């Protein structure tokens, strides 16, 4: 009897999880999405997640950012760092500039990965690039 009950509960759990579908996020989910279509998508307008050199943000800020980034229907976003690129000058920086990092973003149902650019030296309250949401 007990084994049967556990089996029924296990099957119900599997069926419940398998039938979960993603639904479009509400408009409120996109409040923290940039209105600028170039934000994050090109090296002249990167997502600025750094600042730990100046003590304004700790070095794990980019990890938290990517953990909270969602696809347009609430999908979990998978992130792959592609490496550093794109030297930039900034006289306010201790070294006079730095390199941006490129990240590849994918989620279930997307046909082609999306590349975004991130500045890990300078911090400005981050937004999600268009097509994404922050939770």
* 60 pLDDT above the threshold of 70: no
Nearest in space to 24 (alpha carbons), one of 68, 66, 78, 75 = 75
- Asked if the model's pLDDT at residue 55 lies above 80, the reply is no
- Give the residue, 8 or 57, on which the prediction is more confident: 57
For range 82-93, the mean pLDDT:
91
Kindly state the tokens that stand for 66: 């990517």
Answer for the pair 26, 73: CB distance below 8 angstroms, yes or no.
no
At 30-50, the pLDDT tens digits run 678 999 999 999 999 999 988
Confidence of residue 2 (pLDDT cuts 50, 70, 90): very low
Read off the pTM: 0.74
Token pair of 57 as six digits: 């943000």
Please give the average per-residue pLDDT across 122-134, as a whole number.
91
Residues 6+ apart with CB under 8 A from 46: 40, 100, 116, 117, 118, 119
Give the pLDDT confidence score for residue 17 in this predicted structure: 37
- 9 pLDDT above the threshold of 70: no
Name the least confident of 47-56, 72-81, 106-115.
47-56
Beta-strand ranges (E) seen in the chain are 47-48, 69-70, 78-89, 97-106, 114-119, 133-134
pLDDT of amino acid 93: 80
């Amino acid at each position: 009897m007990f084994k049967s009950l556990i089996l029924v509960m296990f099957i119900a759990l599997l069926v419940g999880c398998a039938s979960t579908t993603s639904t479009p996020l509400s408009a409120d989910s996109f409040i923290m999405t940039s209105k600028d279509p170039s934000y994050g998508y090109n090296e002249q307008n990167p997502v600025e997640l750094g600042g730990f050199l100046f003590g304004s943000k700790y070095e794990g800020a980019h990890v938290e950012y990517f953990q909270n980034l969602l696809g347009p229907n609430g999908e979990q976003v998978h992130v792959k760092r592609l490496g550093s690129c794109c030297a930039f000058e900034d006289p306010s920086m201790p070294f006079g500039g730095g390199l941006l990092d490129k990240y590849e973003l994918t989620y279930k149902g997307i046909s082609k990965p999306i590349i975004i650019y991130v500045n890990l030296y300078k911090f400005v309250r981050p937004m999600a690039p268009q097509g994404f949401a922050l939770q």
